[in-house]
Amino acid sequence: MNTRTTPHRTPVPTDPGSGQLSAPFAEAVLAHAGRDWLRLNVPGHAAAPGSDLAGFLGSRITALDFPPLLDGIDLGADTPLDRARALAAEAWGARRTWFLTNGASQGNQIASMVAPSLGRTLVVQRSVHSSVTDGLVLSGMDAVFVQPSVDPAQGIAHGVTAADVAAALERTPDAAAVYIVSPSYFGAVADVRALADTAHAAGVPLIVDEAWGSHFGFHPALPPCALSLGADLVTSSTHKLAGSLTQSAMLHLAEGPFADRLEALVDRAFRLVQSTSASALLTASLDLARRSLATDPAAIARSVEAADRVRGAVRALGRFRVVSDGFPAFPDIVGPDPLRIALDTRAGGITGHEARRLLFRDHQVMVEVATDAAIVAVIGAGSVPDTDRFLEALHTLPSPLTGSGPVPAAVSHLPVPGPAKLTAREAFLSPTRVLPAERAVGRISADTLAAYPPGIPNVLPGEVITAEVVRFLQRTATAPNGHVRGAVDRGVTRLRVVD
């Protein structure tokens, strides 16, 4: 039976006369920076205008860099920080919002740490970010993984269906929660409403890693945010597309039958993993990003229009393909994030890795990520970059069509993970040894290994290492800009296994 009794709120409507126009924490920090302080406290740069840091970053930044626990900023009752967090909760339609200064990874770790209060096993989308795996190590929970759909042409993972989650819940009587990702790194949006209904029918909450969807719900052209669709706990990587500084994020708790039980636990787990020296700069940027999202829908519309122009031009020119045009073929995808521009570069005669390298080196154009087959560019909510420059650079890339450039390699398909023999925590804390990669095949991994970005684990602690996985990770490591998070060495020539 569905346990939901309280409807979820939708993000606050944009109203120029509303309190969303204020940024109480940022304004308080700015006011403090304008006073003539003798700073005999941390940070050690003391906002000295002649310091190397001020010379590099500018004295305005160092003047705004205050430590926590200051009257008039975050100490006492009804502080500017309290008001800023309340405005964020109102904007996203949450019961309560926490500001994070260690990224959405911190939010995923918190969510994983509180789940044991609800059961023994997490039902988890297998293509979650590696920080969710880190949370499993911290919590010690068992996990039942739901495999995502995979685009064989692109070699990328998308999402999971409600039917697959329901099947996993049926075989998991001690389930604590369902943990999914939406949107994916390539912008695939899951059917969060159906997934929430499925989780609630089984009496468990839905946790959503909405790291890439912090802007959702703030304009009609954007998908609804996960909270408005029934999610119970949502990680929001505000710095990604909502405009706050790198490493800043939010964690949102919804109203509903799980809220009373989770709120105090989330607050305690937050204190375990949040720095006691949280950055005022990161926190202020969250306050300002929220204000921009909630009060300037016209800016978001311009960003969506810019992204649409890029996709339209790519289709018209015909050399490359738009990856999201193929999303309707997958039952787990209900739509794309319009601010994500994923392009199949192999269709234009060049690998994604080579395209990214040449865009960076020859055109000073940075894109978010590359795979063998594609590149992904993003446009932040409120940003309108020079899309003509990007399109021109993209279409001057060499290819066999012009008689130059490398012949594109075959897509490196995502490897099937090996079977799990231990929990993530058991494997992580077991005695280990480091072996040459070829000798590690068939052994149990003690580490999380993830081709990064996007940081989706290819090997989890407790899983058997396969030859296919080793080949995939080594190929990733040798690609331009390739990196394997958690590897013992850069080339993945050695692996840490349970002894």
pLDDT of residue 50: 84
Q: What is the pLDDT of residue 452?
A: 74
What are residue 403's DSSP bridge partners?
none
Mean pLDDT check: name the lowest of 39-43, 187-191, 234-238.
39-43
> What mean pLDDT comes out for the span 239-261?
96
* Contact call for residues 11 and 236 (beta carbons, < 8 A): no
Task: Note the pLDDT of residue 414.
Answer: 77
* Stretch(es) of the chain classified as CATH 3.90.100.10: 424-498
Distances (CA, A) of 264 to 66, 127, 137, 269, 447: 28, 29, 22, 9, 31
Task: Tell me whether residue 436 is exposed, middle or buried, using C-beta atoms within 10 angstroms of its C-beta: 0 to 12, 13 to 18, 19 or more.
Answer: exposed
| H or E element in which residue 434 lies | strand 432-436
pLDDT in tens, 126-150: 999 989 999 999 999 999 999 999 8
Please tell me the distance from the alpha carbon of residue 104 to that of residue 239, in angstroms, as a whole number.
Answer: 9
C-alpha to C-alpha distances, 224 to 2, 189, 216, 221, nearest whole angstrom? 22, 10, 5, 9
- Helix or strand run (H / E) with residue 309: helix 297-317
Which residues, at least 6 apart from 27, have a Cβ–Cβ distance to it below 8 Å?
Answer: 80
Pairs from 400-408 (Cβ < 8 Å, separation ≥ 24)? 400/349, 401/319, 401/348, 401/349, 402/349, 405/349, 405/350, 405/354, 406/350, 406/351, 406/354, 408/345, 408/346, 408/349, 408/350, 408/351, 408/372
Within the chain, all domains assigned CATH 3.40.640.10 are found at 19-295
pLDDT in tens, 112-131: 999 999 999 999 999 999 89
Q: How sure is the predictor about 398, in pLDDT bands with cuts at 50, 70 and 90?
A: very high
Ramachandran class of 425: left when φ > 0, alpha when ψ lies in -120 to 50, beta otherwise: alpha
Residues of the chain with CATH 3.90.1150.10: 297-402
Provide the pLDDT for residue 40.
84
Given a cut of 60, whether residue 404 has pLDDT beyond it is no
Name the β-bridge partners of 496: 434
pLDDT in tens, 175-216: 999 999 999 999 999 999 999 999 999 999 999 999 999 999
DSSP string for residues in 134-162: HHHHHH--EEEEEPPPEETTTTEE----H
**3-class SS shares of the chain: helix, strand, coil, % to 5:** 40, 20, 40
* Domain 19-295 grouped into CATH 3.20.20.80: no
- Does residue 350 surpass a pLDDT of 90? yes
- What is the CB-side half-sphere exposure of residue 41 using CA atoms within 13 A? 11
Residue 9: pLDDT band by 50, 70, 90 thresholds? low
- Residues 365 and 336: their CA atoms lie apart, in Å, by 23
> What is the pLDDT confidence band of residue 410, given thresholds at 50, 70 and 90?
low
At 302, which amino acid appears?
A: R
What would the pLDDT profile of 351-391 be if each residue is shown by its tens digit? 998 999 999 999 999 999 898 899 999 999 999 999 999 99
CATH of 424-498, one of 3.40.630.10, 3.30.930.10, 3.90.100.10, 3.30.565.10: 3.90.100.10
What's the pTM value of the predicted model, to 2 decimals? 0.91
Topology of domain 297-402, CATH: Aspartate Aminotransferase, domain 1 (3.90.1150)
Mean pLDDT of the chain: 92
Residue range 257-273: mean pLDDT, rounded: 95
